[in-house]
Structure 1
Amino acid sequence: MKATPAPAVPPAGRPLNAPWWAAPALFTVAAALGGAWGYRSCPIVQSSAWLALPYVVPLALVAASWRPSAHRDTRTRGLVLGGVGAWIALVYAHLATLVLYTVALVLWAFQGGG
């Protein structure tokens, strides 16, 4: 005796999976806005354009979060990479300014202070 197959669940009754692209899209917007705000709000904006080159690193981290994954551990890794990339984009300009001021202060101190 064959069992009758269960009736298919109509599309409206199926639970919706969360869209995988929502978090990477949020991280992309956050990295772009954070990078722009961080860069415009510190004195590094008047310096040469090569100081903006390290923004490639946070953008690469955010781009890595766009890779869709089926496993929970790789999904978590993508969320962490996107969050870290957005945070680095936000603080990079201020960190670079701090490093440049520290180097200038150390060089000034070692050359005699005058």
Structure 2
Amino acid sequence: MNATSPPKPPPAAWLLAPPWWLAPALFTVAAALGGAWGYRTSPFVHASAWLALPYVIPAVLVAASWWPASRPSARVRALVLGGMGAFAALVYAHLATFTLYVVAFVLWAFQGGG
């Protein structure tokens, strides 16, 4: 038996293949812009800087999308992680604001109302 390798696609097909780095680059830009917009539109702008520390989690999720995929399932996982990171950066400040308001209201309600 003579085993031959499958034919390589022509060079024109290489140019039509989507670049793998395009989605992670878009997620990086979306996370940075979403995080900046979310932080600027929340009351955290005047708070201490440690409240910005949880932005590390969306940054790590987006950074995980930069890992080159060796399988189609890894490519899907990278897209999901990048999308989750960009979304988390967008909503973190507002979700944290809501959580702090709920905690303050519950503490106020249980301490006797005032």
Spell out the pairing of 1:26-65 with structure 2 (5 A cutoff): 26-65=26-65
Aligned counterpart, 2:79: 79
Q: Determine the C-alpha separation between the residues in 2 that align with 1:37 and 1:27.
A: 15
Give the counterpart letter for 2:87 in structure 1: W
Residue 15 of structure 1, CA deviation = 5.4
Q: Determine the C-alpha separation between the residues in 1 that align with 2:57 and 2:63.
A: 10
Structure 1: stretches of 5+ with no match in the other structure? 1-7
Residue 9 of structure 1, CA deviation = 6.9
- Superposition TM-score, scaled by structure 1 size: 0.88
Structure 2 residue 62 is the aligned partner of structure 1 residue 67: no
Aligned counterpart, 1:11: 11
Aligned counterpart, 2:89: 89
Runs of 4+ in 1 over 2 A off after TM superposition: 8-16
| Aligned length, in residue pairs | 108
Residue 12 of structure 1, CA deviation = 3.8
Structure 2: stretches of 5+ with no match in the other structure? 1-7
- Superposition TM-score, scaled by structure 2 size: 0.88
Residue 109 of structure 1, CA deviation = 0.6
Residue 44 of structure 1, CA deviation = 1.5
Aligned-CA RMSD value: 1.8
| Greater Cα shift, 51-60 or 10-19 | 10-19
Give the counterpart letter for 1:92 in structure 2: Y
